[in-house]
Amino acid sequence: MCQFIKEMKDSKTIKIAYQNAKEQYAEMGINTDEVIAQMAKVNISLHCWQADDVSGFETPDAELGGGGIQVTGNYPGKAKTIEQLKADIEKVMSLLPGSQRLNLHAIYGDFKGQKVDRDQIEPAHYQSWIDWAKKMKIGLDFNATCFSHPLADDGFTLSSKNEATRRFWIEHVKRCRLIGAEMGKQLGTPCVHNLWIPDGSKDIPVDRYTYRKLLKESLDEILSVEYPKEYLKDSIECKLFGIGSEAMVVGSHEFYLGYAIKNNTLITLDNGHFHPTEQVGDKISSCLLYLDEILLHVTRGVRWDSDHVVILNDELSLIAQEIVRAKALDRVNIGLDYFDATLNRIGAYVIGVRAAQQAFLCALLEPTKALVEAEEAGNFFRRLAMLEVMKSKPFGAVYDYYCLINNVLIGEDYIAEIEKYEAEVLVKR
Ligand code: RNT
Ligand code: ZN
């Protein structure tokens, strides 16, 4: 009874705060109810790999190995089985307003204790994920896994000068696209297949041209198999450098942007994959002028690391603003990509998704028309002042209300809920 009264009171407070926020935004010409309705277009794809430190389920003791990416930390509760991973994702989604998708890597197949090498995987190995996604009413996205494998140990996969190695990886990625298309077909929502390869070299290479030529040839062969766009969308992910590939990454931004434009694929913009003074937010309008769609890997770069938990920072805000200002929400696929093993992994997801949602919500609450008018009039004081004023408008009250009408915990209440899940489930693993 007491709990019931408290909930009633809380929801009343949230509604009053929302009403107040609604009036404040209305004064700036913004209809908050319409903005909330638009949040349905912000359909974030959760990366499965935060739940288990990018280990996957090929063997019971699988771990992320090489590839220029690294996980640090050993916080208890990592998902060690598909069942645990599913339970964790269900818990995460229960704490999020709106609907999400799940983004799987090939190493997360349901191999049922069998050794299935990457060039042998089939749609059947992912059927239990598809069935679960149907039950959850969510879409799936997919990724070839071209790392954590002996044939990736020398740092080259699709650009390898060893023909047998290159062929192995071509076969893997071809199969991944087939699996992705099957996911899209069965789930009735296109699967975005993202291709990121670690290929690169620690020290100064002399034959960059050949490595890039080999990668181009591999991609041409992989993409020569066509799938309906309603089933599969192909995206390719560039990177400036990785750990152990500091001097050159074969799949650089120029390489993939050129390839994507020429071959009509999507490009993946991972905001941890550029020089720190570059902004992915600034790249979006350019990419959208030449490509039908893009994929985001939303992350947080910290010094040399590109994969910290997403928070609501300026970089994320600019990304969301640029997408909304370009009216391109339906041309941008939003994925997350980070892995931190030093904190509760369920919490890491909820923090990141809520931050990304808040960035888009703020962007939708922007009086863009008035800002553009100030810009066109050359009134840069007004433009800058308005951008600053918007930062202290009560977007939090709008987000709380969005949580309320979606029936999920509001504000800090999710923290205790995750701590409870940690005590009841995670520490017992
Ligand atoms: C690596 C890329 C890539 C990976 C995942 C696991 O730098 O960002 O997207 O993080 O595929
Ligand atoms: Zn990425």
**Catalytic pick among 78, 216, 233, 297:** 297
Sequence-separated contacts (24+) of 112-119 with Cβ below 8 Å: 115/58, 115/59, 116/58, 118/145, 118/149, 118/168, 118/169, 118/172, 118/175, 119/168, 119/171, 119/172, 119/175
Nearest protein Cα to ligand 1, atom 10? 337
207 is catalytic: no
Task: Give domain status of residue 30, yes or no.
Answer: no
Q: Which helix (H) or strand (E) holds 416?
A: helix 413-424
Instruction: Give residue 67's pLDDT band: very low, low, confident or very high (50, 70, 90).
Output: confident
Give the model confidence (pLDDT) of 331-384 as tens digits: 999 999 999 999 999 999 999 999 999 999 999 999 999 999 999 999 999 999
Residue 252 forms part of a structural domain: yes
- Res. 391: pLDDT tops 60: yes
Residue 281: the pLDDT is 98
Ligand 1 within 6 A of CB of 49:
yes
Task: Confirm or reject: Cβ of 237 under 6 Å from ligand 1.
Answer: yes
Classify residue 152 by its DSSP letter.
G
| Top mutation candidate among 149, 270, 299, 338 for ligand 1, by most atoms within 8 Å of CB | 270
Separation of CA 309 and ligand 1 centre (Å): 14
Q: Is the CB of 270 under 6 A from ligand 1?
A: yes
**pLDDT given at position 304:** 87
**Does residue 98 lie in a domain region?**
yes
Three-state secondary structure call for residue 336: strand
Q: Which residue range forms the structural domain that includes residue 155?
A: 39-366
Q: What is the pLDDT of residue 10?
A: 80
SS3 content of the chain, % helix, strand, coil (to 5): 50, 10, 35
Query: Tell me, what's the pLDDT at 1?
Result: 44
Asked, for residue 424, whether it belongs to a domain, the answer is: no
Q: List pLDDT tens digits, range 121-160.
A: 999 999 999 999 999 999 999 999 999 999 999 999 999 9
Which residue is closest in CA terms to ligand 1's atom 1? 69
Gap from CA of 119 to ligand 2 centroid (Å):
22
Query: Is residue 52 within 6 Å of ligand 1 at its C-beta?
Result: no
Residue 65 in any domain: the answer is: yes
pLDDT in tens, 250-286: 999 999 999 999 999 999 999 999 999 999 999 999 9
The answer to whether position 200 is within a domain reads yes
Q: Is the CB of 54 under 6 A from ligand 1?
A: yes
Residue 284, pLDDT score: 98
CATH for 225: 3.20.20.150
**What's the structural domain count of the chain?**
1
Q: Is residue 2 part of a domain?
A: no
107-125 average pLDDT score: 98
Q: Which residue has the tokens 């002996």?
A: 150
Nearest residue by C-alpha to atom 5 in ligand 1: 337
Number of H helices, E strands in the chain: 14, 12
